Amino acid sequence: MARKRNIPARTFRRGINFWPPFLFAGIKVLGVSDDYRRAKVRLRLGRLNRNWVGTHFGGSIFAMTDPFWMLLVMQNLGRDYVVWDAAAEISFVSPGRGDIFAEFVLTEDRLAEIRELTQEGKKALVWFDTEVLAADGSVVARVRKQLYVREKRRTP
């Protein structure tokens, strides 16, 4: 069984909310489940993150989604795996004019898929999709993140 990381979710949430790229962009992690299977993030529209036309700056929208798939997968697979961001795509669907939200849900099926793909030291490139939603539920953006995952090589 993989050795788990020992950062309590509550401590992680508090710490990341003071991380300068989040703090100064108006990004707040609202919650992280104790098992690191769910995270919810909010981006407030403010003077420091609005663009020329008064809507959310696209870079801030991307930043609010950037680390979560990697962190959730890392925490669940444990220290016996290498997990890195490999690629990303973002599609802007509608202007974000108020608070916007992103939720990340990592299922056991996805973890099992990753474990299967990485058996015998194979690397896996796995895509995760996230919708960024306005408070009324309308889609503001769609973000895709690709993770590189493999088991760490064991030295005899």
- The pLDDT score that the predictor gives to residue 146 is 98
DSSP state of 26: T
- The pLDDT score that the predictor gives to residue 21 is 86
Domain 9-151 has CATH 3.10.129.10: yes
**Global pTM?**
0.89
- The pLDDT score that the predictor gives to residue 4 is 56
Secondary structure element (H or E) that encloses residue 9, with its range: helix 9-16
Pairing of strands 124-134, 100-105: antiparallel
pLDDT tens per residue across all 156 residues of the chain: 455 557 889 999 999 999 988 988 899 999 999 999 999 999 998 888 888 888 888 899 999 999 999 999 999 999 999 999 999 999 999 988 899 999 999 999 999 999 999 998 899 999 999 999 999 999 999 999 999 999 987 765
